[in-house]
Structure 1
Amino acid sequence: MNPGMSPVALLLILAAAFAHAGWNLAAKRVPNGGALFVWLNATLSAVLLVPVVLLTATPSWDWVVPLVGSGLLHLTYFLLLQRGYATGDLSVVYPLARGTGPLLTVMLAVTVFGERPHPLGLVGAAAVVLGVLVIGSGGSSGGSRTAGVVYGLLTGAVITGYTLWDANTVNTVAIAPLVLITGSSVTEAVLLAPYALSRRASAVRMVRRHWRAVCVVGVLSPLAYVLVLFAMTLAPVSLVAPARELSIVVGGVLAWLVLGEPNPVRRLSGALIVLAGVAAIAVS
């Protein structure tokens, strides 16, 4: 049986939750950000992180496949998420994406990686997924809700892919979390560069109008994920993946308070279920 959740891992996940909810709120407030917004964020992250990695690590050709693979998965995730935010509510897309991801991740971590978390941890993981789906069960109606559900589910599937890929990278391949997130950001920036450069005027306008959001996402997104990656080196991915959905509690409340999205009672009820699930994971 695998070890449970260590206090340090839980603290890392808690800090990541606030950073993650913060950058998702900033991204949602940029209308039709799309690929240009993703490129700006990835480029800023790469510019900030590359010098740190070069000063603290020696590059290796062995990094290429793991880092490029991670970058491709994260790029797909960001593009789907931005499209979802352009067509649906934060309170639908975000919880469905974050709920589907850990559900699939736990199943695959047990079947593929052979993890055997404590039964209480699995009960907690199930509670987290249930609470996330409760939070995301309302919101808009009609076409925007349908689009939000579709993009939320697709994004969740990609979250599963990058979570398992990155967990294997930091634990089995033994690439440092900071190196992984830096390589991923560089891959995203490079792959989107031709598209962005062909729309230079639009990119300049986006920077002028939404530079604060670009800075928030460019800093908080890699920060949130590198904290999760460190947590994955201290606890099983089958527990880390659902526990990090504490960000849903923060994001659901912010969607209500800041964006004025409806159904606060449903949000708070779902948040309590998520917190109960994380508590079960923490003591497992």
Structure 2
Amino acid sequence: MSGTALLLVLAAAVCHASWNVVAHGVSRIGTPFLWWGAVASAVLWLPVVPFTGGLGGSVGGLALGAGVSAVLHVVYMVVLQRGYAAGSLSTVYATARGTGPAVSAVLAVLLLGERLSALAAIGIAVVVAGVVATGLVDRRPRQAPAPVDGAAAIADGAAAPASTGGASEEPAPRADAAPRRRRRLDPGIAWGLLTGLAIASYTIWDAHALRTWELSPVSFMVGVTAVEVLFYTATLGRRRRELLDVVRAHWPRVLAFGVLSPMSYILVLVAIQTTPVALVAPARETSVVMVAVFGALVLREGSVAKRLTASVVVLGGIALLAL
């Protein structure tokens, strides 16, 4: 990976981590906040389009590429939230963010004709291992999850709602039932794998669309957010009455989301125009580490030592990708 591409991806990770931190605490608002976030993203970035390549090489390609990408992002969010409803946050998130870049790398080689060196393959494996470790180092025993809004996760790995399930008051299980319970597959892992596949799907499609139709990353991102506005409008239902209250109470976070969330992915899209997706996808997951370390140092969530150790592993993998 070139130095320029690495800087783009790391800058994208900083933007991604930043808006997750900014959005921390409002993710449970769900669709009304996401509606405003998508509107802000489209409105704030639309004036930038003429200065960043316009609509790109093909208007038809832009419409098809952004439309399909928006659908894939919506599928990603729906699957992610089903996972949070069925499994623990740490398991689903770590499995998804680890599976996503790994599957993206494989699909990039098979579908996009990319080639990887042995050193790059090792780097990808190290990054994925570090990202998964970041999510699992402080994993707690599974509790019954509380219901969450079906669209509460923000696009492309947003600040996810925390698990709030309480302790069970049911009688202790019989001893003979324990082995059967231990053999059951953790639903969080299954949903995490499906979420990772969704991440890989939109990553590969977006790379294909930009390269095939020579699209501008900014206009592409604006197109995706515009379609997402339509989706959120259709799913608001009775929650439309909450829109004004949400924007009055959280307009600084809406604006921050509208700037930082698209910027984080635009930088990634710029990078994949000249750099193999197989390298970009794992490198962008450093945002997961940044948020985890912030949570440990500032919010006192989990073990600082364990998360820093996992971060060192990820940085080691990034170093291998940069060689």
TM range (shorter): 0.7 to 0.9
Which residue number in structure 1 is paired with residue 20 of structure 2?
Answer: 24
Determine if contact 1:90/1:255 at 8 Å carries over to the other structure: no
Which residue number in structure 1 is paired with residue 133 of structure 2?
Answer: 134
**C-alpha separation in 2, matches of 1:133 and 1:152:** 11
Is 2:217 aligned against 1:193? Answer: no
Secondary structure of the corresponding residue to residue 115 of structure 1: coil
Return 5+ residue gaps in structure 2 as ranges: 146-162, 164-185
Amino acid at match of 1:134: A
Determine if contact 1:134/1:270 at 8 Å carries over to the other structure: yes
Instruction: Pick one of 262, 274, 278 that aligns with 1:238.
Output: 278
Task: Assess, with a 3 A threshold, how the Cα gap between structure 1 residues 80 and 133 changes in structure 2: closer, same or farther.
Answer: same
Amino acid at match of 1:175: L
Secondary structure of the corresponding residue to residue 213 of structure 2: coil
**C-alpha separation in 1, matches of 2:115 and 2:219:** 28
| Alpha-carbon displacement from aligned partner over 1:106-138 (angstroms, at most 9, x marks no partner) | 111112222111110110000000001111113
Task: Assess, with a 3 A threshold, how the Cα gap between structure 1 residues 40 and 155 changes in structure 2: closer, same or farther.
Answer: farther
Determine if contact 2:16/2:260 at 8 Å carries over to the other structure: yes
* 1:235 Cα deviation from its structure 2 partner: 0.9
Is 2:266 aligned against 1:226? Answer: yes
Determine if contact 1:128/1:278 at 8 Å carries over to the other structure: yes
Instruction: Pick one of 45, 48, 51 that aligns with 1:52.
Output: 48
| Alpha-carbon displacement from aligned partner over 1:204-252 (angstroms, at most 9, x marks no partner) | 2222333233222221110000000111012100111111112122111
Determine if contact 2:120/2:321 at 8 Å carries over to the other structure: yes
Task: Assess, with a 3 A threshold, how the Cα gap between structure 1 residues 18 and 84 changes in structure 2: closer, same or farther.
Answer: farther
Which residue number in structure 1 is paired with residue 168 of structure 2?
Answer: none
Which residue number in structure 2 is paired with residue 109 of structure 1?
Answer: 108
Instruction: Give the TM-score normalised by structure 2.
Output: 0.78
Which residue number in structure 2 is paired with residue 95 of structure 1?
Answer: 94
Amino acid at match of 1:77: Y
Determine if contact 2:104/2:278 at 8 Å carries over to the other structure: yes
Which structure would you say has the larger Rg? 2
1:142-157 matches, within 5 Å, as: 142-143=142-143, 144=145, 149=189, 152-157=192-197
Amino acid at match of 1:194: A
Which residue number in structure 2 is paired with residue 11 of structure 1?
Answer: 7
Which residue number in structure 2 is paired with residue 210 of structure 1?
Answer: 250
Determine if contact 1:31/1:86 at 8 Å carries over to the other structure: no
Amino acid at match of 1:50: L
Instruction: Pick one of 311, 314, 322 that aligns with 1:271.
Output: 311
| Alpha-carbon displacement from aligned partner over 1:61-90 (angstroms, at most 9, x marks no partner) | 332111100111123334555676788876
Determine if contact 2:97/2:132 at 8 Å carries over to the other structure: no
Amino acid at match of 1:128: V
Q: What percent identity do the matched residue pairs reach?
A: 42
Task: Assess, with a 3 A threshold, how the Cα gap between structure 1 residues 192 and 153 changes in structure 2: closer, same or farther.
Answer: same
Return 5+ residue gaps in structure 1 as ranges: none
Amino acid at match of 1:107: V
Task: Assess, with a 3 A threshold, how the Cα gap between structure 1 residues 257 and 201 changes in structure 2: closer, same or farther.
Answer: farther
**C-alpha separation in 2, matches of 1:77 and 1:184:** 14
Instruction: Give the TM-score normalised by structure 1.
Output: 0.88
* 1:54 Cα deviation from its structure 2 partner: 5.1
**C-alpha separation in 2, matches of 1:180 and 1:224:** 13
